Amino acid sequence: MNALIALWMAVLTGLTSVRGVSVAPVEDHTEVVIALDGPASVSHFTLENPTRLVLDIKGARHALPRDRYMGIDRGGIRSIRTSQFQASVVRVVFELAAPVRYSVEEQDDRIVVTFPNPAGPFERWHTGTLTIAETASPAAQPTAATQPAARAVEPGSSAAVRPAAAAAPGAAEASDFRRTALPPAGAYRSPQQLSQEPRITVYFQESPIQDVLATFAEFSGRSIVAGADVSGTVTADIRDQPWDVALREILISHSLAAVETESGIIRVDKNEKLREREKVEELVTRQFPIRYVPADSLVKTVEAFLSERGKVTTNPTANALVVTDARSVLDRIEPAIMQLDVRRPQVTIAAKIIYVDRTSLEELGFVYDLKDIEGPGNGLPGNSLNQITRVWIDSNGDGVMQESELFQQNFVNFGGESVAALANANDRLAAPALQILTSLALGRFSLISFIEALRQVSLSDIQAHPVVKTMDNVEARIQVGEETPIRVIDVGSAATTGTGVPPRATVQMKETGVILRVKPHVTGDHILLDLHAERSNIALAPSDIGLTFQTQESQTQVLVKDGETVVIGGLTLVEKTESQSGIPILMDIPGIGALFRTTKQREVKRDLLIMVTPHIVKDSVR
C-alpha cells in the first residue's frame, strides 16, 4: 500500500518513482538494475569501513516496498539500504563484501551498475515491481516481448486478488502490474530458480476452475483457453507468489498442464490430452547453437525430452544440436538446453610439492687382529687385513642381479700364514671419519687394534611448484619424476621351445616420483577437490627378484574456499636400523663388551608435503 501511495505522489509531484531493484549474475560479473518510471540523473561515490557504494538518484521518489534488505549475500553484495534522502533525492546504499571497480550507466527507465563478481555463481534477487527486461542484461533477455500495458484486477465473486503487500486475507486492492509473456508449460522454472513475473496474493474457495483460469488471465493479461475435459473446483490460498508459479501449482494439483501455442495463447488441458496432440502435431526442425560444452555431450540428455517421433543429431561444424519434433516438445526442450549450456568455470591449481630426506649414520667399532708375523716360506704373503666389498653383478647373463664378494686391491700385509687365534678384522667401517691404529708385538705374534668412528648426517630437500589450469569436473595430473624401465624375463618361453634358447626379455616402463592427480568441482565460492598424492622410488631387492618400488600414497577429498591452501600431511617414512658385530662372548660382557664389538646405527626420515591452492578463474569485465 505504501508503494502505491508513493507511486501516486510521484505522479502528482512530477518525480520519477524508484519501483524496483534487482541483483543478477551476467557472465562473470554482477549486474544491479534499479527500475524507474522515467528518466532520472544519478551521482555515485564509495565509502569505507565497511565498504559501501552509494547512489543518489535525483528527481526521484522512493516507491520500494521496504527500506532495508539485509542478508542478501550474493554477487559481492551483503545488504541494500534505501531511503528518501531529500525531497527529490532517493539514496541507495550497497554494502559490499570488498572494494570493486564498478561502472554506472543511465538508461531511459533504469540505472545499471556493473562490477566483477567476486563470489562465484549465485541466484538472482529482486524486490519491488520489475519486468524480465529490467532483471537481465540485453544479451540475457528472453525473446518473449513484454506487454507495456498495466491493468488493475478487481476481486471476483469466487476469488479475491490482492497485491502481495496486503495486510490481511480477504482485503482486495487494485494494483498496477506489468504483463509479461508466460513461459511454455514444459519450460516452467524449477523451484530453485526465481520467477520474474508479477507477484499475486489470491484466495479461492470451491471456485470453478474456469473462473480460476479467468482470474489469472485477467491478472496477467494473457489469453488462457481451457480444454473440454477441464473441470472441478479449486480451493487455494496463494500468498505473495509469482503468478506463473501459482498457476502451475494449481494445475499440477488437478493433474493438468499448460502449453503456449505459437500465437501466444496458453492452452490448459489434461496431461494425456496434450500428449495425444503432440502425436498429431506437425514436426518442426530447429537448430540450437551450443556455446560452452560439446554438442554431442548433450545428445543423451535431450533424447529424454523427445517424443516417439522426435530425433536429435549434432552439427559438428557449428557445435549445435539439430532437433526434430512437435513444436510443443521443442518449446520444452529449449529452456532445458539453456540450463545445460552454461559456461563451466575454470580452476587454476597451484601445487607446492616438498620432499625431504634426512639420513643420520653413527658407527663406532673396535677391531682386533692377532697375526703371525712370520711368512709361510712359500712365496705367498702372510695373513693380512683384507677388506671385502659386496657388490651386485649379473654373473650368468640371465638379467638377475646377484650378490658377490670382491676383495679390495689395497691391503695391509703383515705376513704369516697361521690362523689368527682372535680376530674380527674383517668387520671394518667402510669410510671412518676417525681411525686410530695400535700394534703390540707378542713374541712371533702381533696384535693389531683399530679404533674407528663415524658420524654422518645428510639432508636432501626437493621442491617442485607445478601450476595447472583445468575445467570444472575435469581431472588434472601433475608428475615430478621419471619413467623407470623394468626388464621382464619370460622364463616360460625358454621352457616351451626346449631348444636351449635363452629366455625372452621385454621392457616395461614404470612411473615413479611425485605424482598428483586432482579433480575440482566448483560449488559457489568453494572448490571440492578429489586429490590423489603419491611418492614412489625404486630400490634393489634383497633377493634375486631385482627391484622393488617404495610407494607412499594418499587419497582424499577436501572442500577448500577459493584462494585458500590445503595441506596434505602424513606421508612420512621413518626407518631405523641398528646392528652389532664383534668377538663372540667378549662383545656381550657388561661394561667392557663395547671394546670388542662394532655398533652401527642408521636412521632415515623421508617426508612428503603437498600444498594445493585452487583459484577460480574470473575473466575481466568486458
**Residue 559 pLDDT greater than 60, yes or no:** yes
**Is residue 413 assigned to a domain?**
no
Where residue 106 sits, what CATH number does that domain have? 2.60.40.3500
Q: Select the more confidently predicted residue: 583 or 295.
A: 295
Domain boundary among 127, 161, 183: 127
**Residue 422 pLDDT greater than 70, yes or no:** no
CA neighbours within 13 Å on the CB side: how many for 58?
Answer: 4
pLDDT for position 264: 76
**Looking at the DSSP assignment, which residues form a beta bridge with residue 225?**
267
**Is residue 462 assigned to a domain?**
yes
Grid cell, residue 195, equals 520467477
Among the residue ranges 361-370, 457-466, 559-568, the one predicted with the least confidence is 361-370
- What CA–CA distance (Å, rounded) separates 205 from 199? 20
**Residue 3 pLDDT greater than 70, yes or no:** no
**Looking at the DSSP assignment, which residues form a beta bridge with residue 563?**
none
Residues 6+ apart with CB under 8 A from 98: 51, 76, 118
Q: How confident is the model at residue 419 (pLDDT cuts 50, 70, 90)?
A: very low
Which residue has 611448484 as its cell numbers?
A: 465
Q: How confident is the model at residue 136 (pLDDT cuts 50, 70, 90)?
A: very low
Mean of all residue pLDDT scores within the chain: 75
For 34-52, what is the mean pLDDT?
89
DSSP state of 444: T
Query: Do 336 and 351 fall within a single domain?
Result: no
Query: Do 353 and 444 fall within a single domain?
Result: yes
Query: Do 255 and 325 fall within a single domain?
Result: no
Task: Give the model confidence (pLDDT) of 54-90 as tens digits.
Answer: 999 999 998 888 888 888 888 999 899 998 888 889 9
Asked whether the beta carbons of 419 and 345 are under 8 A apart, the reply is no
**Is residue 390 assigned to a domain?**
no
**Residue 222 pLDDT greater than 80, yes or no:** yes
pLDDT for position 601: 84
Q: Is 158 helix (H, G, I), strand (E, B) or coil?
A: coil
Grid cell, residue 400, equals 638377475
DSSP state of 562: T
**Is residue 375 assigned to a domain?**
no
Grid cell, residue 165, equals 503487500
Q: How confident is the model at residue 432 (pLDDT cuts 50, 70, 90)?
A: low
Asked whether the beta carbons of 563 and 526 are under 8 A apart, the reply is no
In the chain, pLDDT over 70 holds for what percent of residues? 69
pTM of the model: 0.43
Query: Do 206 and 297 fall within a single domain?
Result: no
Q: How confident is the model at residue 320 (pLDDT cuts 50, 70, 90)?
A: very high
In the chain, pLDDT over 90 holds for what percent of residues? 13
For 215-222, what is the mean pLDDT?
87
For 534-543, what is the mean pLDDT?
75
For 262-273, what is the mean pLDDT?
81
Alpha helical stretches, state H, 238-326? 243-253, 271-280, 299-303
Q: What is the DSSP string of 445-505?
A: EEEEEEEEEEEEEEEEEEEE--EEEEETT--EEEEEEEEEEEEEEEHHHHHHH-SSPPPEE
Domain range enclosing 88: 13-127
pLDDT for position 180: 33
Query: Do 242 and 351 fall within a single domain?
Result: no
pLDDT for position 377: 45
- What CA–CA distance (Å, rounded) separates 597 from 583? 6
**Looking at the DSSP assignment, which residues form a beta bridge with residue 76?**
none
Query: Do 292 and 351 fall within a single domain?
Result: no
For 478-503, what is the mean pLDDT?
70
Query: Do 442 and 586 fall within a single domain?
Result: yes
**Is residue 193 assigned to a domain?**
no
pLDDT for position 8: 47
Q: How confident is the model at residue 171 (pLDDT cuts 50, 70, 90)?
A: very low
Query: Do 608 and 562 fall within a single domain?
Result: yes
Q: Hey, what amino acid is at 508? A: Q
**Residue 586 pLDDT greater than 60, yes or no:** yes
Task: Give the model confidence (pLDDT) of 383-412 as tens digits.
Answer: 444 444 555 566 666 655 566 655 444 344
Asked whether the beta carbons of 560 and 566 are under 8 A apart, the reply is yes
**Is residue 246 assigned to a domain?**
yes
Domain boundary among 127, 151, 170: 127
For 350-369, what is the mean pLDDT?
78
Query: Do 54 and 91 fall within a single domain?
Result: yes
Query: Do 38 and 111 fall within a single domain?
Result: yes
- What CA–CA distance (Å, rounded) separates 31 from 113? 6
- What CA–CA distance (Å, rounded) separates 174 from 312? 48
**Is residue 154 assigned to a domain?**
no
Among the residue ranges 114-123, 270-279, 528-537, the one predicted with the least confidence is 270-279
Query: Do 523 and 615 fall within a single domain?
Result: yes
DSSP state of 154: -
Query: Do 354 and 212 fall within a single domain?
Result: no
Peptide bond before residue 118 is cis, with ω within 30 degrees of 0: no
Rg (CA), the chain: 42
pLDDT for position 111: 93
**Residue 330 pLDDT greater than 60, yes or no:** yes
Say how many domains are in the chain: 4
pLDDT for position 433: 61
Among the residue ranges 32-41, 132-141, 222-231, the one predicted with the least confidence is 132-141
The three-point CA angle 291-296-298 to 5° equals: 75
Grid cell, residue 481, equals 619424476
Q: Is 168 helix (H, G, I), strand (E, B) or coil?
A: coil
Domain boundary among 127, 155, 190: 127
Of 201, 15, 44, 9, the closest CA to residue 114 belongs to 44
Asked whether the beta carbons of 307 and 279 are under 8 A apart, the reply is yes
Where residue 228 sits, what CATH number does that domain have? 3.30.1370.120
Pairing of strands 16-26, 60-62: parallel
pLDDT for position 493: 57
How far is Cα of residue 104 from the mean position of the Cα atoms in its chain?
33
pLDDT for position 378: 43
pLDDT for position 137: 44
**Is residue 149 assigned to a domain?**
no
